[in-house]
Amino acid sequence: MFQSFEDTANPSQGPDRLAALRALMKTEGLAGFLVPRADAHQGEYVADRDARLAWLTGFTGSAGFCAVLPNIAGVFIDGRYRTQVKRQIDLAHFTPVPWPETQLKHWLADHLPGGGTVGYDPWLHTPDEISTLETALAPKGITLAPHANLVDMIWPDQPEPPRGRITPYPADLAGETHEAKRARLAQALKEAGQSAAVITLADSIAWLLNIRGSDIPRNPVPHAFAILHDNAHLTLFADAAKVDDSLRAHLGTQVTIRPPAALAPALHSLTGTVRVDPKTAPILIVQELDEAGVSHAWGEDPCILPKACKTPAEIAATTEAHLRDAAAMVEFLTWFDAQPPGTITEIDVVTTLEGCRRATNALLDVSFDTIAGTGPNGAVMHYRVTEDSNTRLDEGQLIVVDSGGQYIDGTTDITRTLPVGAPGDEERRCFTRVLQGMIAISRTRFPKGLAGRDLDALARYPLWLAGLDFNHGTGHGVGVYLCVHEGPQRLSRVSDVPLKPGMILSNEPGYYREGAFGIRIENLIVVHEAAALDGADDREMFDFRTLTYVPIDRRLILPAMMAAGEIDWLNRYHAACRDKISPRVSDAARLWLAQATEPL
C-alpha cells in the first residue's frame, strides 16, 4: 500500500513541546516565533524532516501555520480545515484562527500590544511574506528577525533530510528537451536584462530539466535549488546521493551539479542583475545577495507559466493516463455497488481503490492520500482515515471519495460522491446543485484574458440560490507526473492569472454540512481554443475539454431540478464514459458501466 492509516496527529504531545519552545523563545529574547507548514521549496507536501507544524501542534493539514507568543499559540487554517483542526490540536493550549479572514499582521498587533521581536526561519518564508508583515507591524513597535529554527532546536529525533534518487523524464512525454527549455528561458532572461534566475520550487526544477525525484511522497519532485544563467547554463544544487551516471548523462555538460552547501557561495559570486521570485523563494536568498552586494530584480519564477501551459505531447500523455485511471475507477465502483450497507469501512474503500489502480501495472504512487469520508467525516474536506477514525458505511449515508494516481504519463485527481443504500431527499437536492455548478464550468466558453476569478461564481450560483456555498476554491492547477496541486492557474475568486490553452485544472464544487454529510464532484479539464460559432464576434474564445471519464452517480440526482441543457450535457458525458472506458474494463465492470450511464 502507498497509503497508511496510522494516526500521525498526537495532540497530547503538543503542550510539552509548546512549553519547550516558549522557554527557548525567552532565552533567545523573542516575543514570538513563526512555525509555517512550508519547507524551503514552498511545497504543499513536506518531508518528515520539515513537518514542524505537525510535530508541534498535531495539525496535519496541507496548509497553515502557527504563531507562538508567550500567552497564546494561534494555529491559522483556511476553510478546508476548520473542522479537522479541532480534532487534531489540544484546544486548551492552541487556538484555531480562521485565515485569511484574520490576517497574521493584525493578530500579532492585537496580541503584542507592547511590541517585541518575532523570530522566523529565513529558509521558510518568502520576501513578500516578510515585507508585508514588517510594513504593517513597524508602527506597532513589532520587529521581525531571522533566526535559527527554534523547533529544530527542541526536536530531539528530527529525521534527516531526504536523499531520494533523481531520474530522467522521457523527452517524448515532456514534448520538449531540457536543452530547448533552458535556451528558451535564458533568452527571456537576457531580454529582461537579467543575468540569472534563482529557482527554488522543486516542481519547476523537475519540469525545466526533465527530471523527477523521490524526496517526498505523492509528488515526484527532487529537493534541490538551481541557478539558470542567461547563457542557458544551469547550476543544480543537489545532494550527491541523489545523482548517478545516468542522470549526469541526461543533463549533459551545460548543467553543473554542486552540493546544497555551495548555494550561498554561488549566490555571492553572481554578477549582473539576478531574478528572484518574491512569492516563492526563501527570503534567505535575497539576504545572501544583499550581503554580497549583488543586484536583484523581483520577477516570477521563469518556469511557472511555461510549465502550466502543457505541450501537445503532455496533453496526449495525460489523456491516456486519465483513461487508464477511469477504468480503474469503474472497476472500483463496480465492487462498491456490490457491497451491502454496513459491511465495509472507509479503509476498505481506500485499499480496494488503490488495488484497482495497482492492477493497471502502471501506478507509481497515489497523487495524494485518498479522502474517503462517510457521514460526518465527509464534511471534513481533507479527511484522512486512520485506524482510529475508520467508520463503517451505513444505510442512508453518503461517502466522498477523492483520489488520484501518479503515472509516468500523467497525474489524476477525481472525486465522486456515492450513496450508501437509499439517499435522503436533502442530500439529493444538495448533490444536484453541486452537479449543476460542475456542469456550468464544463460547458462554459469564455473570452481570452479571463482568469479563474471570472469563472468561479459559475460553479457556486446554483448553491447560492439556496443560500449554500463551499469554503474552498472551485479548482486548482494539476501537473503531468508532477504535483497534483500546481500553479499559477486556479478556478478561484482570488486568482487573477489569465487562463491559457494547455492549462489543466480541476473542476470540483462541493457542499459540506458539518456533523452530517459532505458532497464533492470533481473532473479534470484542460483549457483549449474553442471552436468557431456561426454569427459569433471576431474574438478569441476558449473552453474546457474534459479529461476525466467516470460516471456521476445518477441515484443522487433530482432531474426535475435540472435544465434541459444540463441533462443533455450529462447524458452526452455518460455516453462518452461508456464509449471510452468499456473496452478497458472487465465484463462485470462493463455491465455496471452500461447501467450507470443510462440516460436520465
In order of their start, the domains of the chain are 11-154 (3.40.350.10), 167-307 (3.40.350.10), 309-596 (3.90.230.10)
Residues contacting residue 512 through CB under 8 Å, at least 6 positions apart: 378, 379, 381, 470, 471, 518, 519
Residues contacting residue 277 through CB under 8 Å, at least 6 positions apart: 198, 200, 298, 299, 300, 301, 304
Could you tell me which of 409, 483, 41, 42 has the C-alpha nearest to residue 220?
483
CA dist 358 and 555 (Å) reads 28
Residues contacting residue 322 through CB under 8 Å, at least 6 positions apart: 410, 412, 524, 547, 548, 549
| 443 phi and psi angles, rounded to 5 deg | -90, -15
Could you tell me which of 576, 556, 579, 570 has the C-alpha nearest to residue 599?
570
Q: And the C-alpha cell for 55?
A: 510535530
pLDDT digits (tens, 9 = 90+) for 391-413: 999 999 999 999 999 999 999 99
> The cell 464534511 sits on which residue?
379
pTM of the model: 0.94
Give the per-residue pLDDT at 17. 94
Give the per-residue pLDDT at 9. 67
Could you tell me which of 567, 571, 573 has the C-alpha nearest to residue 550?
573
* Side chain identity, residue 97: V
- Alpha carbon of residue 425 to chain centroid: 33
- Alpha carbon of residue 253 to chain centroid: 34
Q: And the C-alpha cell for 341?
A: 450497507
- Beta-sheet pairing, 73-77 with 95-98: parallel
CB 438 within 8 A of CB 511: no
Q: And the C-alpha cell for 94?
A: 492552541
CB 52 within 8 A of CB 151: yes
What is the block-wise mean pLDDT of the chain (600 residues), using blocks of 10 residues? 82 91 97 96 91 92 91 91 84 91 94 94 97 94 97 96 97 98 98 98 98 94 98 98 97 98 98 97 98 97 98 98 98 98 98 98 97 96 92 97 98 98 96 98 98 98 98 97 96 97 98 96 98 92 98 98 98 98 98 98
CB 198 within 8 A of CB 275: yes
CA dist 524 and 595 (Å) reads 23
pLDDT digits (tens, 9 = 90+) for 84-134: 888 888 789 999 999 989 999 999 999 999 899 999 999 999 999 999 999
